Amino acid sequence: MTVPAMHPRPGNLREVAEEIERATGLQVEILGGSLVMSPTPRGKHAGTIRRLRHQLESVMPEGLAAYEVTSIAMPGDTDDYCTPDLVVLPDSWDTDDEWLADPADVELAVEVISKSEKAHQITGKNGWYGAAGVRTLLVIDPRFGRWALYRDPDAGVYPDPVEGAFGDPLVLPEPLSTAVDTACLPLYG
C-alpha cells in the first residue's frame, strides 16, 4: 500500500492522520506523537464487537450508550487520540459537537486484538488508556480466546488485570454491573 508523502508540520499530525484514513481506509490513531495504523475490523473481529455491543445495550443503565468509531483524547499532546473498538459514554454524546470524547466520561473502553497485533502494541495501548484515566478497559483477544479487565488506574497505571478465558465469568464494574458472556465470542482461525 502506498501512503501519500506528507511532511507534517508541528501540530499538524491530526491532519496527516485524517488524510491517511481518507486515502487508505485504514484506522489511524495518534499515540505518543506516533501514527498507529490498523485495517478496519472485519469478519470475526467485527463480530466480536457486535456481540459485545448487543450484550451491553440490552442491560445498559439509563443515561449511557455504547459507541463505535468514537475517539478519546489522550494526555500529553493535543494531537494524541485513540479509537477503541467500542466505548461506553453518557448518551449526551449523541448531540455533542466535539470530535474527541473526554476520557473522564468513558465508563468502558473495549479493545479487540487484531490477528496481526504484536504484544508490545497491546501493552502500549493499555498504558495509554491508563495514562488517560479511562476507568475500565476490557481487552478481548480472539487469537487465544482470552480477555483481560483493567480497572481504576492509579497515577496513570492500571493494577494487575482480572484475566480469563472465553467462557470464564466476566463481570463489569459499576455503573454497568453486568456479566458478559464470553463463550459466544469467536476465535480467529
pLDDT for position 45: 87
Task: For residue 65, count other CB atoms closer than 10 A to its CB.
Answer: 17
> Average pLDDT of each block of 10 consecutive residues along the chain (189 residues)?
39 67 60 59 83 95 94 83 92 91 96 77 77 95 95 95 97 96 94
Beta strands 81-82; 34-38: pairing state: unpaired
Tell me the residue ranges of DSSP E strands in the chain: 27-31, 34-38, 64-67, 71-73, 81-82, 86-90, 100-101, 108-112, 136-141, 146-151, 162-165, 170-171, 179-180
pLDDT for position 10: 47
pTM (global) more than 0.75: yes
pLDDT for position 77: 75
Nearest C-alpha neighbor of 107 from the set 71, 129, 134: 134
Total length of the chain = 189
